Structure 1
Amino acid sequence: MKTRSPRALVTGLMWLQQREGGGSLRHTCEQSDGLSRYGWLMHDGENFGVQEIRDEGLFLKTEFVKRPGGEHGGDWSWRITARMEGTGGPAPLLSLFFYVATDEQGTLEPHLENRTRLGRRFEETFGLGRKGFPPSQRRFAQAALSDLLGGMGYFHGRSLVQSPLQERPVPAPEAALFTAVPSRSFFPRGFLWDEGFHQLLLARWDPALSREVIAHWLDLMNAEGWIPREQILGEEARAKVPPEFLLQHSETANPPTLLLALQRLLPSAPLPYLRRLFPRLRAWYDWYNRTQAGPLPLTFRWRGRDPQLERFLNPKTLASGLDDYPRASHPSPEERHLDLRCWMALASRVLAEVAERLGEPARPYREMEEALSDNGLLEQLHWAPELGAFADYGNHSAAVGLRWQRVAPAAPGQPPPAPRLVREVREAPRPRFVGALGYVSLFPLLLQLLRPDSPQLPAMLAAMRSERQLWTPFGLRSLARDSPLYMQRNTQHDPPYWRGSIWVNINYLALWALRSYADAEGPQRERAAELYHELRHNLVANLYRQYAESGFLWEHYSDSTGRGQGCHPFAGWSALVVLVMAEDY
């Protein structure tokens, strides 16, 4: 625990199980430790939390309460409960250590307070009891929210930035960030595109807290209107980042998902708050239009695709957030990226809504929204008839694979060089639509650009429900099963990531969109409602089942078994399952 200040008072817990032959001293929980469970069961984001840790037969429960007030932000009290469970042998000697690292910024005094108002506030906010969810699933949802809240942190430091205007990377000015994180043990830093999804949930739980986090993020903007997509501020964040990811490139964007949350907060957001935000929002919006413009009017292109073509089956597009999702095989300035166009339509819509609330000129944003939402132009620029879906456009070859490179014999006395997989292009690329049906194809539906009577909407719904393409009993997979790069490795060392796995954030957007189309007058109304109910049931049932079996929320889920994959615990956007459960539809 630490205070929200650059030189924080830090308190912590260490525990040691002393057994014959030694013992292990822990003060953090890492997914590589193999602990059967660790995470928050209850947390309100401010005053109260209960955490559970299970470590080789040791059960630890930590509880804190906070009383606001005083000169230093309030008083804290902790209670630690420890017991051994089912060891079957002599119990080890358990030692608990408490440490305080202080810069003489405050003192701690214990205080107890009643916590019953939390199980009430949760029910009043999400209504899972009155919706018929059993106690076990309500506890699951409460733990998901609590883990997200309990992982929030205050970070302070400098980003390392590479600008096209400078030869060498330079440290950015000191910055502070109060933010949620995807996983406090594995990704203890802020991610721009993740944070918008986090705030969709926190905006429902505590709108004032969510507004504060969004303001922190927008205050990170530089003079050009750019926000670094990863916030690696301070030693804690830096310790978990591979060296190749430390550098932030000032021409690289990330999806403006904070606008999703801001749109939800708008009806109740105080006008002074919006007035402070609006200049930053305009600068951010202008930066996207200036730096991410595509080759044709009203098209957009993610900058920063990986240029090392020989290394990757398909060069990654980290800027999009969908890292290894298949794009044009040969990056070029001629690319048109469908998802970025849809994000810019959303940005135009939200900027117009904020401007209208403030009495500012909104017409330029409304006109841009209308142009980017024009279904005829969208079809002209991004509909791939041979795919029967929307797609990216670029310099693309459909005949690309990985092969083992022949290596020359080793020099006398030297070890033989290791073979490696390299890319092989068997057909020259040409300007064309990218033949990959998946999450990117759905973006006109996900962000609700398609009209309810769009002639493309039936094809989109059919692809979603097709088990040969995107449908699974656990949620929508990220890339169609019949796509050429489905579940293909990107390099010798990079397993598939956004090439088939189920991701909760995109499934949440799909449910949000399906509900909207089910509520709108149109020929697909009943079909959208049917898919909404099926998908909602599948997603919730699988996430609960995997949590019950493993004790964790996961980064993504297998499309063949439903099992959790990637990082855990991952109470970032996977915690959106709480909002899915809370739907009244």
Structure 2
Amino acid sequence: MNRAQLEGPYELFTSIPSRPFFPRGFLWDEGFHLLPIVDWDPELVMQIVSSWFGTMDEEGWIAREQILGPEARSKVPQEFQVQYPHYANPPTLYMAIEALLHKYQSTDNTPHNTDHFKTWLTQIYPLLQRNFDWYRRTQPGDLKTYDRPKAFSTKEAYRWRGRSDRHILTSGLDDYPRAQPPHPGELHTDLISWMGMMARSLASVAAYLDEAEDAARYGKILEAIRRNIDDLHWSAKDAAYCDVTVDDYEDSVHVCHQGYISIFPFMTGMLAPESGKLGAVLDLIADEEELWSPFGVRSLSKRDALFGTEEDYWRGPVWMNMNYLVVRELLNLAQSSGPHQAKATKMYSALRKNLVDTVYKSWVETGFAWEQYNGETGKGQRTQHFTGWTSLVVKVMGMPDLNGGKGGGRGHEEL
């Protein structure tokens, strides 16, 4: 019988969500933390990413929480100190890799030492590959046992391990509503979207390093994931992306709780501007009775029966990290030709202003950045001194003004 035991000692160079309340490294948070830092000190980002991958085991697993030292351990309940090497967490470090690539490929950043960056990327590339392979090996969804709809790929489907009746802590979206009861035949929209982001990142890294065969291979995986997101997770009935489970007859059925899960393919850049699903996704985001609020995009629809219930952690509040992904993709759409360009431009301007106003007003009132914000009042709530991913508001502030300087806070009827 395997007994849980402490391992280490280890060390980690990391940025943390909140020194008083979360004085430890979180894999889920770190990639978001690094996005503003890339603009300020890309070398620091490279050091932090290297440190994280330095904790990876031979199989490719990185522990989702790095509870290193007595200060960090004193803040973690005993039941959460055990971690399992087949449990994953959102691979947000790959967002930082993409941001670094963009930084060093940009013609506006020629003073940066590109030779140093390429040397570093060459060294870390095998670790990125090992980590990606670990996700594909340990988190697959079952496309063979159950009666599934025909999908483009027989491989690209994914399920979070580590689920309980009410939580998938490994997903980062702890209490977000999922299928009931839990079932080993589930497929999770957010995880396949993260896997697409990883494949896209690796394809870009391989191309930058002139690894043409690898770039082509990761590109094929990315295309298969994009196709399967539509084939497996799009519910025509609900006009939304949804998780999948298995009913009593072992048939695949969609489980739709409109919220962040429904827009995950959009947030992770899996939808092209010409996607036939994009209009419905934008409509869902912009609907005040669903996700849109004057303070940011809610985590769960107001129409959902579980909105605001139980812990109410990811069941309604506004989270800056998810809103950053939304506003970033809206900006990409606003700057790309396509049928939704005008709508995306209006939504982008309004959401950008709403997010900055929400964080600023709460800061003026309380003196704190907060873990999340109330979708009905805009008040900061949960953990204070939360200068982790809430600091993404600085990235939002630095985004271009597409509204001619007139302010972005326009009414829902214009969206």
Is TM (by shorter chain) over 0.5?
yes
Of residues 142, 146, 156, the one that matches 1:298 is 156
CA distance in 2, matches of 1:550, 1:228: 34
CA contact (8 A) 1:329 1:395 kept: no
Q: For residue 551 of structure 1, what is the amino acid of its counterpart?
A: G
AA matched with 1:502: V
TM superposition shift of 1:396: 6.6
RCO higher in 1 or 2 (8 Å CA, sep ≥ 6)?
2
Of 209, 221, 226, which aligns to 2:61? 226
Per-residue deviation, residues 271-327 of structure 1 (Å, max 9, x unmatched): 110111111101100000000011122100000101xx4xxxxx2001110000111
Q: Which residue of 1 aligns with 2:276?
A: 455
Matched residues in 2 for 1:366 and 1:453: separation? 19
Offset of 1:453 from its aligned partner? 1.6
RMSD of Structure 2 on Structure 1 (CA): 1.5
Q: 1: CA distance between counterparts of 2:395 and 2:118?
A: 27
* CA–CA distance in structure 1, aligned partners of residues 295 and 309 of structure 2: 21
Relative distance call for 1:559 and 1:396 in structure 2 (3 A) is farther
Q: Which runs of 5+ in 2 are unaligned?
A: 105-113, 144-154, 402-415
Q: Is the 8 A contact 1:396 1:433 kept in 2?
A: no
- 2:368 corresponds to: 552
- SS of the residue corresponding to residue 253 of structure 2 reads strand
Give secondary structure in 2 for the equivalent of 1:247. coil
Structure with a larger share of its residues in helix:
2
- 1:526 counterpart residue number: 342
Q: Quick check: 1:387–1:437 contact (8 Å CA) kept in 2?
A: no
Match of 2:96 in 1: 261
Q: Distance in 2 between matches of 1:483 and 1:384?
A: 16
Partner in structure 2 of residue 282 of structure 1: 129
Give the whole-Å Cα distance in 1 for the aligned partners of 2:40 and 2:179. Answer: 40
SS at structure 2 position matched to 1:393: strand
Residue 356 in structure 1 maps to residue 356 in structure 2: no
Aligned in 2, Cα 1:253/1:479: closer, same or farther, shift over 3 Å? same
Contact 1:329 1:429 in 2 (8 A): no
8 Å contact kept, 2:241–2:256 = no
Residues 31-78 of structure 1 deviation map (CA, whole Å, 9 limit, x = unaligned): xxxxxxxxxxxxxxxxxxxxxxxxxxxxxxxxxxxxxxxxxxxxxxxx
The alignment partner of 1:355 has SS state of helix
| 3-state secondary structure, aligned to 2:122 | helix
Contact 2:158-2:188 at 8 Å conserved across structures: yes
Task: Pick one of 281, 296, 299 that aligns with 1:475.
Answer: 296
Structure 1 match to 2:267: 446
Specify which of 194, 202, 222 is matched with residue 369 of structure 1: 222
Task: Provide the rounded CA distance (Å) in 1 between the counterparts of 2:251 and 2:178.
Answer: 13
Aligned amino acid, residue 124 of structure 2: L
Matched letter for residue 501 of structure 1: P
Name the counterpart of 1:185. Answer: 20
CA distance in 1, matches of 2:210, 2:368: 46
1:272 aligns with 2:130: no
For the residues of structure 1 that align with 2:101 and 2:230, how far apart are their CA atoms?
31
Q: 1:447 offset after TM fit, Å?
A: 1.2
SS at match of 2:355: helix
**After superposition, what is the alpha-carbon deviation per residue over 1:526-584, rounded to whole angstroms, capped at 9, x for unaligned?**
10111000000111011100000000000001011000110011000001000000112
Q: Matches of 1:379 and 1:357 in 2, distance apart?
A: 29
Query: What SS does the corresponding residue of 1:325 show, helix, strand or coil?
Result: coil
Q: 2:231 aligns with which of 359, 373, 380?
A: 380
> In the TM superposition, what whole-angstrom CA distance separates every residue of 1:204-226 from its partner, at most 9, and x where no partner exists?
11111111111100111001100
Q: CA deviation at 1:260?
A: 0.6
Asked if 2 retains the 8 angstrom alpha-carbon contact of 1:514 and 1:528, the reply is yes
Partner in structure 2 of residue 582 of structure 1: 398
- For residue 83 of structure 2, give the secondary structure of its aligned residue in structure 1: strand
Pair 1:232–1:364, CA change in 2 (3 A): same
Amino acid at match of 2:221: M
Report the CA distance between 1:332 and its aligned residue: 1.6
1:24-39, aligned counterparts within 5 Å? none
2:384 aligned with 1:563: no
State the distance in 1 between where 2:250 and 2:309 align.
20
Equivalent residue runs for 1:89-238 within 5 Å? 167-238=2-73
Q: Which residue of 1 aligns with 2:151?
A: none
CA shift, 1:461, in A, is 0.7
User: Which structure's CA Rg is the greater one?
Assistant: 1
Q: Are the aligned partners of 2:320 and 2:390 in contact in 1 as well (CA < 8 Å)?
A: yes
Q: CA deviation at 1:172?
A: 2.4
Looking at structure 2, the residues matched to 281 and 469 of structure 1 have their Cα atoms a distance apart, in angstroms, of 37
Cα distance in 2 for partners of 1:294, 1:484 equals: 27
Query: Matched residues in 2 for 1:233 and 1:542: separation?
Result: 34
Q: Normalised by the size of structure 1, how large is the TM-score?
A: 0.63
SS in 2 for 1:498: coil
CA distance in 2, matches of 1:378, 1:197: 24
Partner of 2:241: 390
Contact 2:242 2:257 in 1 (8 A): yes
Q: Which whole-Å deviations, capped at 9, do the CAs of 1:412-463 have from their partners, x for residues lacking one?
A: xxxxxxxxxxxxxxxx997421120000110111112112122211111111
Q: Which runs of 4+ in 1 moved over 6 A?
A: none
8 Å CA contact 2:192, 2:229 repeated in 1: no
Which residue of 309, 315, 320 maps to 2:171?
A: 320
- Report if aligned partners of 1:331, 1:395 keep a CA contact under 8 Å in 2: no
Q: Residue 43 of structure 1 aligns with which residue?
A: none
Question: Could you tell me how far apart the structure 2 residues matched to 1:584 and 1:521 are?
Answer: 17
In structure 1, the residue matched to 2:254 is 433
Q: Residue deviations 1:477-506, cap 9 Å, x none?
A: 0000001211111xxxxx210000000000
CA contact (8 A) 2:371 2:382 kept: yes
Q: How many residues align?
A: 376
Structure 1 partner of 2:327: 511
Does 1:332 pair with 2:183? yes
In 2, Cα distance between equivalents of 1:238 and 1:450? 41
Q: CA deviation at 1:359?
A: 2.1
Once the 2 structures are TM-superposed, how far is the Cα of residue 349 of structure 1 from its aligned partner?
0.8
Amino acid at match of 1:436: H
Whether contact under 8 Å (1:383, 1:389) holds in the other structure is yes
Q: Which amino acid aligns with 1:392?
A: D
Q: Which amino acid aligns with 1:517?
A: L
Which piece of structure 1 moves more, 172-181 or 237-246? Answer: 172-181
Aligned to 1:59: none
Aligned: 1:466 with 2:287? yes
Residues 197, 576 of structure 1: 8 Å contact kept: yes
Greater strand proportion:
1
